[in-house]
Structure 1
């Protein structure tokens, strides 16, 4: 799959009807992901996580998400089927069994509907970085940037930026926690494009005195905006 920004359209915990109470996006580049969920009611952080994503079955097509950092503190892997064709409108249907927050964590069948909302940014490169100590993930796909950092005390910092083509600048869509520890997207982009001239993943780069490893790096077909 090419690099993508996906927006969740709805979630359903069976047998209840589908609904959406968050602004949820996920960035996927290669075998890594970042996932941010912000409450619609008060713009607070509901949940965020980052880690590895891999295909575990072809029929039915299924992914496994392995959480490396997670604001809930739960690091158990998730597995679900994924179908871009069943809904017939271009959206993807994810289906699986997971711990339902509103049912005291009871394992419950669920469905989520996801839509590709990838839009151009200032470059046509997408990437995900992980700090060497494992606590921080930075990712950019098109015109969307996410940064996440976990702290030993259980705290979490999250930043989301979106590219504004009219202003030719990044707007802040969400900041939560001690975001000063998350480098600004312009600084990250400049460092990674310089370092990735050889286009090799697992390259180490230093940003704001923190060493990162390039986990995913891909060129997309989108032209800069």
Structure 2
């Protein structure tokens, strides 16, 4: 008897997640370059070809963890209220994520999250692939702001995404250096205000 399409999809997603979780656990324990794809496949109890069907590159095993956030800023802008500017919506979203201690903001004191950021920032090939992810995220935000081909939208999207990445790294470094989470949150909120004030200064003449 054939499985329903929904069940097959669910099983595939569970397999994908299990492979990624296994890989990240091994990377955190032994380093990205200290673990082979064959070792990951064996630990996840799948064949090497099966692993590559889910993850074409070794780097994607790590960046899969942030895949759900691709295009998030564009979705925030698209879903904003009629009286809310794009930058207002993005700032509100950033503050909400900080309050929730979302790992993607860097403001999460969970040891595994701190180690994950250290893995990404400290591994050249992962940092390089992250740039590709950032470029695509920038394109999606530019589309939401006013069209991928519109120069002002693209420039503002690039500035915002760059600022967001810098804030994430700053937040992670503070926590890694032992700054108490409450203090790190207060400073992250202040940094967010400063960053958006600067973005607005440059964007004011273009209606953003």
Higher RCO (CA 8 Å, separation ≥ 6 residues) = 2
Whose strand proportion is higher, 1 or 2?
1
How high is the TM-score relative to the length of structure 1? Answer: 0.26
Whose helix proportion is higher, 1 or 2?
2
